[in-house]
Amino acid sequence: MKCSKCGAKAVAWLPASNAAYCKKHFNYYYERKVKRLLPKMLDQKKDVVGVGVSGGKDSLVMLWLLHKNRFNVVPILVDEGIKGYRDKTIPYAEKLCRELGLELHKVSFREEYGKTLDEMVKEGGRNACSYCGVFRRDLLNKTARRLGCTKLAIGHNLDDEVQSVLMNFFRGELERIARGGPVTGIIEDPKFVPRVKPLRMCSEKENVIYALINGIEYSDIECPYATTAYRGVVRDAVNMIESRYPGTKISILRTSDRLVEILRRELKPEGGLRYCSECGEPSAEKVCKACQFRNEIF
């Protein structure tokens, strides 16, 4: 197959754009897509951007692109304590940070909460993804704030975003949909660092291709706790529809973004964001989820 732009040998075929691209034109296509989105999320001059990195493809591609576009980035790595997994992915994050001349800020569940995720799962009654989601969120926010970040960039890709939107839709979780969109968090609050997702328009596959073309080395091992079975079912269904009707994923995301605006007007939270009565962190409830979980385990 030949590049639709220049006729050179193509390395990527993108059914949703009905185009094939060579390395150079894939980079051009991909970077332009991200660059168009960035000004809506980040201010290049003012923002100090905390970047959540894991060592996987999405977060490292995101860090690389933000650095390449001269954003003031602060890489943050949360070590949940997943033996045989996180210890294997961390070196990739360290390597890229070294290459880019950036200091990697490492924090861990063990140091912050006294237990690794492995221990929490063994001792608590909940599944790994519940603990991980809540504590990662809490720790990333605290760390970004401590390091003076004005935004926090998360490496969610198009597939992640579409799966989340649909899962929330299927379950009737409108409040969760309202919390989505390009910049998350319904309310401005000095204790909450707003989250942005620079790769939300880029599919998982595009991120892999970009990483390979540009020599960004990443870990491709899967988390032993994997993703929930339900997310897997939604992913397969979306991929099946996308393969027959290319462009469906982007369309779902655009529809959802419009819905987010409408929902945010309708679902104005009463009394605004409050603070957890135990730890003082921003919380939708009286006691935040992190403290609720902590009280269960400890």
Query: In the complex with Zn ion, which residue's Cβ is closer, 97 or 291?
Result: 291
89 binds, among another protein, Zn ion, none (CB under 5 to 8 A by kind): another protein
**31 lies in the binding site for Zn ion (CB under 5 A):** no
Q: Site for Zn ion (CB under 5 A): which residue of 5, 95, 205, 264?
A: 5
Contact indicator for 160, 238 with CB cutoff of 8 Å: no
Q: Site for another protein (CB under 8 A): which residue of 30, 49, 51, 89?
A: 89
**164 lies in the binding site for another protein (CB under 8 A):** no
6 binds, among Zn ion, another protein, none (CB under 5 to 8 A by kind): Zn ion
Span 206-235, contacts to another protein by CB under 8 A: 208-209, 212-213, 219-223, 235
209 binds, among Zn ion, another protein, none (CB under 5 to 8 A by kind): another protein
**79 lies in the binding site for another protein (CB under 8 A):** no
Structure tokens at 248: 């469906």
116-143: burial string, b at 16+ Cβ within 10 Å, e else: bbbebbeebeeebbbbbebbbbbbbbbb
Determine the distance from the C-alpha atom of residue 255 to the mean position of all C-alpha atoms in its chain, rounded to a whole number: 19
**1 lies in the binding site for another protein (CB under 8 A):** yes
What is d(CA 114, CA 294) in angstroms, rounded to the nearest whole number?
Answer: 10
Give me the phi and psi of 17, to 5 degrees please: -100, 0
Crossing angle, helix 248-266 and helix 229-244, to 10 degrees?
120
141 binds, among Zn ion, another protein, none (CB under 5 to 8 A by kind): none
Query: In the complex with Zn ion, which residue's Cβ is closer, 35 or 191?
Result: 191
Q: Please tell me the count of residues contacting another protein according to CB under 8 A.
A: 32
**Smallest distance, another protein to C-beta of residue 52, A:** 9
3-state secondary structure of 73: strand
Span 232-291, contacts to Zn ion by CB under 5 A: 276, 278-279, 288, 291
DSSP one-letter string for 28-69 = HHHHHHHHHHHHHH--TTT-EEEEE--SSHHHHHHHHHHHHT
- Which residues make up the interface to another protein (CB under 8 A)? 1, 10-13, 20, 54-59, 85, 89, 155-157, 160, 204-205, 208-209, 212-213, 219-223, 235, 239, 243
